[in-house]
Structure 1
């Protein structure tokens, strides 16, 4: 949101100052287990509260690799941070020195200092592609299939999920951070962090080095780490060997050859799935649908014991137009419990899961959403759904004529999404929100609002990154 806002004032120098993560507390794995135990009634609310308080115990971002930490990593790789500042703890001498230096540096980028570098000269097509590549290489939050699209549009650049899919097939996974692994972001930082990541992606030809950043021309500065030496802030070369190959690896020995993000499409529309945390045996699910209009309804069915079977939970009317697209965090422990019990389960929704999408296959951000007459609104309980995350297939086994004739369902509780607790204030934003694949945003250009030639730069940048890794795919970036 801050970056989208800043891009409306593209003539101004801008630096982003990250909070940094809190120190590690209760492990993310143990936190998730406690949530599952609470979901199944094996522990009470006191035990849940104790676990949450131990996990989120101080200032800073949470330590799992969700949206907040994905944001901090992206701002750095896109050249908007001081190098190496993303994952330094709050209230430490190094953090304070970096914050003070950021304030000094942004003044150096003004016309008066002779080094004019406004944010509009930093965020271009190459910077956007660098952000996508870094997201994929680290298994970052799926929220950025919305956020990066909206950011790009605020900068006058059009990308879509085809670009994420194309790059994902060319970019290897170099990090295992919860929920894609056991480690938290502090382990990632200690193993070599962003500096090691950038060094290896540059070595593999997967990042554009020739970009403007807040510390000057070229991304090579982001292979350096900040240190306090004799009380003075200095930058030194980052490590060239990972300190923990279970958390972070080099370009020549990735965890997997692709980024684990897939574009899913078929009769139900277009959505995305993150499979870097999904075991191979769970990436294909064929099961009958059970249709819900809220995550609370899923919880109720779970509590009644009605979900002990193979099924695909279809949770609709969760898009930006319907209810502002909230996080569906409640579904993660429920479906995880059922999968652990041996059932074949999956989620299909026009809502969001964020970095919380983990070991259960979840096709999310389905576009168009149900409130915009998206085909997810045609699904009935009992319809046989087919999910093949490897092939990018999302389908329903039904006669084509019957499917075409089937009407879309109406939301059962839409009034509750529009009235009460100040929801009326945000009605104008819900009504104006773009579809998920266009960033679910009310800012930035819509397709067709700018010259096609400008978008060709983004297509070229996507294709360049894929070609550098031995790929010969054609980018499908839309250009106005």
Structure 2
């Protein structure tokens, strides 16, 4: 089927907008194709340092002509999603040797967990950890001894950070190697119910801890469709995974076989082989648009409305929220995975998974199939599903139909005719809203504002019985420059409880809610943020706020003259500049661009128009 005209138009617009920046990036990144292993260019002393600890691989690194893989790993044994990666380097080295190549751990990157830091001071480092991971990736690869790269990472800021860093070495082929989800725990709906009961004082801490421990209970990625699992979807639709690698469980023979296959393929697609596939060519405007489509079609994490902007910028491309909104409005919603539904990613995978989704979107003209995927084919190959036949890895077509239409549907009968994300704009600025988890009757609100400077202030008001009637909770001073833009998940159970009582409530904030955005209408990532004197800083207690997710509007219903004359109320950020390491990130807070420019400290605020 031919490409949908909107997808084609958005792709062409991005390419035209990015023409000079992209040309400069490619010219800088794609030097003449190497004719020998990268390490051959190292002076003798440098090379000796590079193989000093290589043991049996020393001869190959010293005199051999096969490729050397650089492993950049986010392994630690505290994060369930990354704990399975402990033995990956051993497996990768073995697989590389079997093809005459070598592999070395080039470096590690930090891997923090938003689930652990949620609601605490450490969460104010979360967004900045993405840029730290990017810089750590660049440091790992700066030894310039590698012909290909395997990136081992899964979670929220880690995969975007790895990709941003790797794009500075875009002459190298790069394959992402995930770990897969943990087994399903208690149903997500049951977990959410306990959280909500705890928020209103009807469940004990012990009951809540039992529910959380039954949900997050084993090695592997958390099974709800948050940023971590949205990352895996993006790597598939951008062609950066071996086909079907995203949701294969850890600790299985199939997972090991996929890791071995990624290693073998990385050597095949280096500049030393016949099928050179550098990262700079894989991540182009078509791959970025595929990512926008995948995000919309699956109701993915709102964090990627920032991460994709930063990733694109690292590849010399400029995108904005208008691109996302236009793509989302022509992309049907095909999946309902918690928090957009009741199922988890394991159930989604069993229903047909990403292979079925990608095939439906390609057949519907909504994805670019002709991108330069790392596996050696085009995106159509990404619809295949891996399996072991005895000990041999094979790929088969994804199921022809969904095994559960409450979780996954075909393009002809979607959950919604439009995708899960919207751009909002008005006199309050611009923002993002995730509508896939919000019932249609709650997608518009007109109610007076209640203004708060932190999520804890909202919770204090709730406990004091002060949150009566309909209202829009305006939580400001939560933007990237103010305090690092923490996620405000502590508000979800409380606001959900109020909505269940019959109140009409919504959230308006320059902070984040991310992949766990739930059933409350939430206008998030408001830009300009309050610290930059954006519209949100002009809101006063009791102002009537109108938010319409379908129309894409958000406004304070204040007379234009009055609105223009109001002085912005800038947040006091002194309490957010020290403690828990925050004093070390002052430079990032000062340099960080706004949310629509990726909330990124690495490139500055490139124009998006």
Of residues 269, 276, 279, the one that matches 1:119 is 279
Q: Choose which of 272, 279, 282 in structure 1 pairs with 2:439.
A: 279
2:487 to 327, 338, 341: 327
C-alpha contact 2:591 2:604 (8 A) present in aligned 1: no
TM-score (norm 1): 0.92
**Stretches of structure 2 lacking an aligned partner (at least 5 in a row):** 1-160
How far apart in 2 are the matches of 1:98 and 1:415? 48
Counterpart CA distance in 2 for 1:327 and 1:107 is 39
Deviations 1:118-151 (A, max 9, x none): 1111000000000110110001111110111111
* 1:86 matched residue in structure 2: 246
Contact between 1:314 and 1:348, CA under 8 Å: does it hold in 2?
A: yes
Q: Tell me the SS of whatever aligns to 2:411.
A: coil
- Give the aligned partner of residue 209 of structure 1: 369
| 8 Å Cα contact 1:153-1:443 kept in structure 2 | no
Q: 2:224 aligns with which of 42, 60, 64?
A: 64
Distance 2:559 2:440 in 1: 30
How far residue 280 of structure 1 moved from its aligned partner, in angstroms, is: 1.4
Q: Secondary structure of the equivalent of 1:16?
A: strand
Q: CA deviation at 1:13?
A: 1.2
Shift of 1:443: 2.5
Alignment correspondent of 1:264: 424
Asked which structure has the greater CA Rg, the reply is: 2
* CA–CA separation in structure 2 for the residues paired with 1:353 and 1:85: 27
Question: Is the counterpart of residue 185 in structure 1 residue 345 in structure 2?
Answer: yes
8 Å Cα contact 1:274-1:357 kept in structure 2 = yes
Which structure 1 residue ranges, 5 or more long, are not aligned? 449-476
Deviates more, 1:210-219 or 1:70-79: 210-219
Pick from 421, 424, 429 the counterpart of residue 583 of structure 2.
424
* Contact 2:489/2:516 (8 A) holds in 1: yes
Q: Tell me which residue corresponds to 1:433.
A: 592
Partners in 1 of 2:186 and 2:435 — Cα distance?
25
Deviation string, structure 1 residues 360-416 (Cα, Å, up to 9, x no partner)? 10000000100111110111111110111111110111111111010111213x111
1:77 aligns with 2:234: no
Aligned-partner Cα distance in 1 for 2:463–2:527: 30
Q: Write out per-residue CA displacement over residues 325-350 of structure 1, whole angstroms, 9 at most, x where no aligned residue.
A: 11111011110000000001000000
Residue 404 (1) aligns with residue 564 (2): yes
Matching of residues 305-454 of structure 1 within 5 Å: 305-412=465-572, 414-444=573-603, 446-447=605-606
- Output one character per residue of 1:193-234: Cα deviation in whole Å (capped at 9) or x when no partner: 011011100110000011100012411101110000011111
| Aligned-partner SS, 2:446 | strand
2:185 alignment partner, SS class: coil
Query: How far apart, CA to CA, are the structure 2 residues paired with 1:376 and 1:163?
Result: 23
In the alignment, which of 43, 56, 60 is matched to residue 203 of structure 2? 43
CA distance in 2: counterparts of 1:218 and 1:11, whole angstroms: 19
Asked whether 1:105 is paired with 2:258, we answer no
Shift in Å, 1:444: 3.9
1:33 aligns to what?
193
Aligned position for 1:220: 380
Query: How many residues end up aligned between the 2 structures?
Result: 449
SS, match of residue 212 in structure 1? coil
User: Relative contact order, CA 8 A, sep 6+: which one is greater?
Assistant: 1
Question: Given the two structures, how large is their TM-score scaled by the length of structure 2?
Answer: 0.73
Q: CA RMSD in A?
A: 1.0
In 1, Cα distance between the equivalents of 2:450 and 2:278?
A: 51
Comparing 278-287 with 345-354, greater Cα deviation is found at: 278-287
Deviation at 1:445, TM superposition (A): 6.6
More deviation in 193-202 or 419-428? 419-428
Asked if 2 retains the 8 angstrom alpha-carbon contact of 1:155 and 1:444, the reply is no
For the residue of structure 1 that corresponds to 2:519, the secondary structure is: coil
1-structure distance, mates of 2:296, 2:494 = 27
1:244-275 CA distance string (max 9 Å, x none): 11111111111110003111111100001111
1:114 to partner: Cα distance: 2.3
Q: How far apart in 2 are the matches of 1:415 and 1:313?
A: 23
Runs (4+) of structure 1 exceeding 3 A deviation are none
Secondary structure of the equivalent of 2:422?
strand
Aligned to 1:156: 316
Q: Distance in 2 between matches of 1:8 and 1:327?
A: 28
